[in-house]
Amino acid sequence: MPRTSKKAQFLRNNPNTLREIMNLLEEFTKRGTKEGKKLIYLAGGWPQDPPPSLLKEAMLEVISNEEKFSRAVQYGPTRGLTETLTAIVDYEKGIYGRDINESEILISNGSTEIALTVLEAILDEGDEVILTKPHYLNFSRQSYFVGNLNVKIKYWNLLRDDYTYGPNIEQLKELVNDKTKAIILASPGNPDGQIISDRLFNEISEIAKEKGVFLITDLAYRGFCYTEKPSYFSNAVEPHEIFICTFSKELRIPGLRLAYVIASKEMIRNFELVEQLKTLCPNGFIQKVFAEMISKEDNIKSLKEFIERGNETYQGIALMSYRYLRDKIPEFYLNEPKGAFYLFFNHSSVNPNSREFCTHLLEKVRVALAPGIDFGMDGWTRLSISPGVLNPELIKEGIERIREFIDSNQRS
């Protein structure tokens, strides 16, 4: 067979573990419970509670109105439909208080696609990128891929030596040099569940601005913020700043693929040109549905209430899970989650190898978790609370099974 590219080989050697675990989930679902205990899947971070009912109403309207339906199924502009760009401007203002205009937005089929586009527009071979440690796993894989596997990634520790959360700005300064092209953050963070404070964000942004570096911030979990909302959710955007937003979590529609990037008009044009290569236009149906939903009076207010109620629910589950894990398994170290869906815990005293630890858990007690090595930190593992939002007992049972696994290991 003819040879594939080095990039394809890289992907074969470094598949997205979370996507691979999802395949496993499909396998387990097919097999059912015949083979012993039912799988408790706490690996993936996707919301289980339904999207706002307004969304279904808007879908029905788009389907039943000939004119709207025909617009929804046609090719649209690469940056997104005009009415959807306007709807996003209204949404940003109404929900987060951010003033932007249409020229500062590009819509895409999910933020995963956007992140790749952003990196395509800014990275060359030999460039350097600064990621946090831990970081969302796609950032490193996408950076390598885009830079033809010739990109240097430097890591900025978010945790101190004693594992408490405490990013040190002086350490970040030492990592930046002439080759640095981007600093990539996620806040609230995946997998750490921490929130970058306003003060720290401003310091990072200052450094980036001074050194001519892009600051990319992934806001996938901004609707799940268990402390006061930082002002960088709502401030005007500076030319070196890029914010990636998605409705996957915030509106509970990960399968519908609707996201957008906010950046300077100049950068949006660069992203548009890359997107022209990847997809002619983002999915018209979901764009039209979103625009329809936002066009109705009072709907932004209802969406805001939906997001705020959801925030409270997720916060309750996250804190319950944190306390349960901390009390049941004192051998693990973990910080209290301040946002997002995750508990990120250190299990080095039980097994310092996170992949092995997760494989054993799956085989022995049928609990699926995500190994920390894929987020840049071995000896750590991520437990997602989102599968338990409709049924918190699931999380408790998962934690009890982990306890059982540790106890049986100690006995043997």
Ligand X SMILES: Cc1ncc(COP(=O)(O)O)c(C=O)c1O
Q: Does residue 254 belong to the site contacting ligand X (CB under 6 A)?
A: yes
- Which of left, alpha, beta for 244 (phi over 0: left; psi -120 to 50: alpha)? beta
Minimum CB distance to ligand X, residue 108 (Å): 8
Q: 41, 385 in Cβ contact below 8 A?
A: no
Minimum CB distance to ligand X, residue 110 (Å): 3
Q: How far apart are CA 375 and CA 380, in angstroms?
A: 9
Q: Is residue 297 classed as helix, strand or coil in its secondary structure?
A: coil
Minimum CB distance to ligand X, residue 412 (Å): 36
Q: How far apart are CA 300 and CA 95, in angstroms?
A: 7
Among 71, 92, 96, 111, binds ligand X (CB under 6 A): 111
Residue 408 corresponds to which tokens in the numbers above? 């049986």
Residue 244 corresponds to which tokens in the numbers above? 């990636």
User: For ligand X, which is the closer residue by CB, 254 or 392?
Assistant: 254
Minimum CB distance to ligand X, residue 161 (Å): 25
Among 52, 54, 83, 112, binds ligand X (CB under 6 A): 112
Q: How far apart are CA 143 and CA 205, in angstroms?
A: 20
Q: Does residue 282 belong to the site contacting ligand X (CB under 6 A)?
A: no
Tell how far CA 380 is from the center of its chain.
18
User: For ligand X, which is the closer residue by CB, 112 or 205?
Assistant: 112
**DSSP per residue, 112-162:** HHHHHHHHHHH--TT-EEEEEES--HHHHHHHHHHTTT--EEEEEESB-TT
> For strand 214-218 and strand 180-186, is the pairing parallel, antiparallel, or unpaired?
parallel
Q: Does residue 386 belong to the site contacting ligand X (CB under 6 A)?
A: no
Q: Is residue 266 classed as helix, strand or coil in its secondary structure?
A: helix
Q: Does residue 142 belong to the site contacting ligand X (CB under 6 A)?
A: no
| Interface segment toward ligand X; rule CB under 6 A; list 32-40, 109-117, 155-163, 235-243 | 109-117
Q: How far apart are CA 208 and CA 202, in angstroms?
A: 10
User: For ligand X, which is the closer residue by CB, 221 or 332?
Assistant: 221
Among 21, 88, 242, 259, binds ligand X (CB under 6 A): 259
Closest CA to 244 of 63, 115, 59, 58: 115
Span 200-229, contacts to ligand X by CB under 6 A: 218, 220
Q: Does residue 51 belong to the site contacting ligand X (CB under 6 A)?
A: no
Q: Does residue 45 belong to the site contacting ligand X (CB under 6 A)?
A: yes
Among 235, 246, 287, 386, binds ligand X (CB under 6 A): 246
Q: Does residue 83 belong to the site contacting ligand X (CB under 6 A)?
A: no
Q: Does residue 368 belong to the site contacting ligand X (CB under 6 A)?
A: no
**Distances in Å between the alpha carbon of 372 and those of 199, 328, 343, 354, 392?**
28, 20, 11, 6, 23
Minimum CB distance to ligand X, residue 254 (Å): 5
Minimum CB distance to ligand X, residue 221 (Å): 7
Closest CA to 346 of 320, 360, 325: 325
Q: Mask: binding to ligand X, 154-193, rule CB under 6 A, as x and -?
A: --------------------------------x---x---
Q: Does residue 287 belong to the site contacting ligand X (CB under 6 A)?
A: no
Residues that bind ligand X (CB under 6 A): 45, 110-112, 136, 186, 190, 218, 220, 246, 248, 254, 259
